[in-house]
Each structure stands twice: as C-alpha cells, then as structure tokens.
C-alpha cells in the first residue's frame, strides 16, 4: 500500500482563495485588512520568509505594512515600533519575524503585541488560553493550526485517536499537542529524553514530527495506516540542486510512504500551511475589528 499524499500546497491554495474572497467582502464594507511585518537585522532566511508573507498578502488582498530595522536597533526602538503598530487602526495583525538579534529580548517584544493583533499566536495569553479547558485563544499559532487544518481537510479522525507528537517546542510541538487534546485525541508528547521513542510512535494513529532532524523518524516506527504530519524542514546536501541543498522532513519519507495511510511531503506539506493560516488569522482579526 502507498500512503495518500497530503497536498499542503493545494490545501493552502484553497485557504488563500477563501481568504481572498473574505478580504474582498470586507473591502466592500470599507475595511482593508492590514498586516504589519517587522523585520530586524539581516538574517537571509528571515528576509525570505517576510517577503513570502508579504507576497501572500498581496495575492489575497491584505495590505501589508513593512517595517525594517537594522541589526543595531535597540530593544527600545523595536518596542516603540510594535507599540505604535499596536495603536494603529489600519493594522489588524502584527508579525514580528523571529529570531530577533541576540541583544533584544524576544519575550518583551512578543508580549508588547496586543493580544487582539497577535496573528502569530505567540503571546503567552493566547498560548495559555489554548491550554485551558473551555477557553478559546484569540489566535492559534500558524504552524500548529496548519497541522490541524491538514488533518481536518484530509478527513483524518482526530476525536478519540491516539496521537503522538514528537517535539515540545513553544512554536510547534506543544501547541499542536494542546490543539489535539482540545479535539479529543489521546496525546503523547515525546522529546529528547523520551525512553523508547520507536515504541511510542508505533502506538499512534496520528504522528506529528516536529524535531528538526532529517529523516529521524523511521518507517518501521510507523503503525500501518497511520496519518503522518511531518513539520520538519531540514536542509541536506544535494549537489544537483541550486545552492547544493534541498529540504527534507523529520520522517524517512520514501519508506514511510509505504506504511502510512496518509503522509505530508516535505516540501509541499506543512510549510505552505503556515502562511495560509497567517492570512486566515489576519482576515479574522480584521473582520472582528469591524464588528
Ligand atoms: P526545536 O528545536 O525548538 O524543538 C525540537 C524538539 O524536538 C524539542 O522538543 C526536542 O526535545 C525534540 N527532539 C530533539 N531531538 C530529539 C530526539 N533525539 N528524540 C526526540 N525528540 C527530540 O524545533 P521547532 O519546534 O522550532 O522546529 C521543529 C522542526 O519544524 C524544524 O525542522 C523546523 O525547521 C520545522 N518548522 C517548520 C515550520 C513550517 O512552517 N513548516 C515552522 C516551524 C518549524 P527537547 O525539548 O527535549 O529538547
């Protein structure tokens, strides 16, 4: 049996189209959805990510307000910018691209983003609400929300499923686990100190790999028919590619494909969903600001 490929690129395109229609609707009612992007320093990958996000904004009809500060910017300067954007009525979402330069305390900056504009979902109050029964966060972090959306849109049954999340980071593993619990999965969260990882993964109907190690999850750890969501994006040498690198996931994809029931490829799985969910969160914020 070969697993069904979960086409994140196509699902993200559908979400972009839904957001585009929603943005059109809001514009017709006099609200222009707006996302502010804040980029500090000259990290090449960060520049690339922000430009992808701004391109997506342009495609779906969200206005983007880009702010770039030099790597030498002080924490007070970044803070002042975020506070100014927080008070700007044209801005419905604020995205501070991480990582920030080392001399700036990320926590201070992220906590300065008003919770109602925290479209990245990283504010501790949003994460806290995610962890509480009966509470809804204003915004769910984009990559974890994308993981759930992929499961939903491919018809995976989350309710009652045994789910194993490998990774417990603030930005991926932990919020994914909380979201799965909220959807009535029975969740095991694994990490670098987990005793017998293969045995844990073998129990799962749903595996989410968010480790950051190329091909770390082996095919024979996967229960036949399981749904596998691979969040990992790891550059590996490939002399045939421009720049001599290509991206692979955390799961040993080719052999795992022969065991799993459904699996995301890397690239083209979770990756495109992150931006799609950012667009969705921004639209939701704009719609709410209007109400
Ligand atoms: P982190 O490095 O913050 O977290 C990695 C997690 O993996 C940690 O919880 C760590 O455990 C765990 N881990 C590390 N080694 C092992 C091991 N040997 N066995 C079991 N668990 C282990 O990474 P992120 O969560 O930020 O990212 C994970 C991956 O997802 C990366 O490849 C990243 O590039 C990718 N990513 C992709 C996105 C997308 O849009 N597609 C967005 C964000 C991330 P411990 O806590 O014990 O250290």
Q: Going residue by residue through the chain (291 aa), what tens digit of pLDDT does each one get?
A: 799 999 999 999 999 999 999 999 999 999 999 999 999 999 999 999 999 999 999 999 999 999 999 999 999 999 999 999 999 999 999 999 999 999 999 999 999 999 999 999 999 999 999 999 999 999 999 999 999 999 999 999 999 999 999 999 999 999 999 999 999 999 999 999 999 999 999 999 999 999 999 999 999 999 999 999 999 999 999 999 988 999 999 999 999 999 999 999 999 999 999 999 999 999 999 999 866
**Does residue 83 carry a catalytic annotation?**
no
Residues whose CB is less than 8 angstroms from the CB of residue 105 and which lie 6 or more positions away in sequence, other chains included: 75
pLDDT of residue 291: 62
In angstroms, rounded to a whole number, what is the distance separating the alpha carbons of residues 210 and 176? 10
| Residue range(s) occupied by CATH 3.40.50.10860 in the chain | 30-122
Respond yes or no: is residue 245 known to be catalytic.
no
Q: Which of 99, 87, 86 is nearest to 42 (CA)?
A: 99
Q: Give the C-alpha distances (Å, rounded to integers) separating 210 from 144, 165, 185, 263.
A: 10, 7, 18, 14
What is the reported pLDDT for 290?
65
Instruction: Tell me how far the alpha carbon of residue 197 lies from the centroid of ligand 1, in angstroms.
Output: 14
Helices (H), 166-226: 173-182, 197-202
Catalytic residue selected from 42, 75, 90, 97 = 97
Span 141-270 CATH architecture: 3-Layer(aba) Sandwich (3.40)
Q: Could you give the residue range(s) of every CATH 3.40.50.720 domain in the chain?
A: 141-270
* CATH code linked to domain 30-122: 3.40.50.10860
Q: Is 203 exposed, middle or buried (0-12, 13-18, 19+ CB in 10 A)?
A: middle
pLDDT of 101 reads: 97
| pLDDT value of residue 289 | 83
- Catalytic status, residue 117: no
């Amino acid at each position: 049996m070969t697993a069904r490929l979960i086409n994140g690129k196509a699902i993200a395109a559908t979400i972009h189209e839904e957001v585009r229609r929603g943005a059109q609707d809001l514009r017709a009612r006099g609200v222009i959805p707006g996302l502010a992007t804040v980029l500090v320093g000259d990290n090449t990958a960060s520049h690339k990510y922000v430009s992808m996000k701004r391109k997506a904004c342009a495609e779906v009809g969200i206005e983007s307000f880009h702010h770039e500060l030099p790597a030498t910017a002080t924490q007070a300067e970044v803070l002042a910018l975020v506070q100014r954007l927080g008070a700007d009525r044209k801005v419905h979402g604020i995205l501070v691209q991480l990582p920030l330069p080392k001399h700036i305390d990320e926590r201070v900056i992220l906590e300065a983003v008003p919770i109602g504009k925290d479209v990245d979902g990283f504010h501790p109050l949003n994460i806290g609400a995610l962890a509480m029964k009966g509470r809804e966060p204003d915004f769910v972090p984009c990559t974890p929300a994308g993981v759930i959306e992929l499961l939903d849109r491919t018809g995976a049954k989350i309710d009652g499923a045994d789910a194993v999340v490998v990774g417990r980071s603030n930005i991926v593993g932990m919020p994914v686990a909380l979201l799965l619990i909220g959807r009535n999965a029975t969740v095991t969260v694994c990490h670098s100190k987990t005793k017998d990882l293969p045995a844990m993964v073998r129990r799962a109907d749903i595996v989410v790999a968010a480790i950051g190690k190329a091909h770390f999850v082996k095919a024979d750890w996967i229960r036949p028919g399981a749904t596998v969501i691979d969040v990992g994006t790891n550059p590996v040498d490939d002399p045939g590619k421009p720049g001599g690198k290509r991206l692979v996931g955390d799961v040993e994809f080719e052999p795992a494909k022969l065991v799993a029931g459904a699996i995301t490829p890397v690239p083209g799985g979770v990756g495109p969903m992150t931006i799609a969910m950012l667009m969705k969160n921004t639209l939701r914020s704009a719609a709410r600001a209007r109400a």
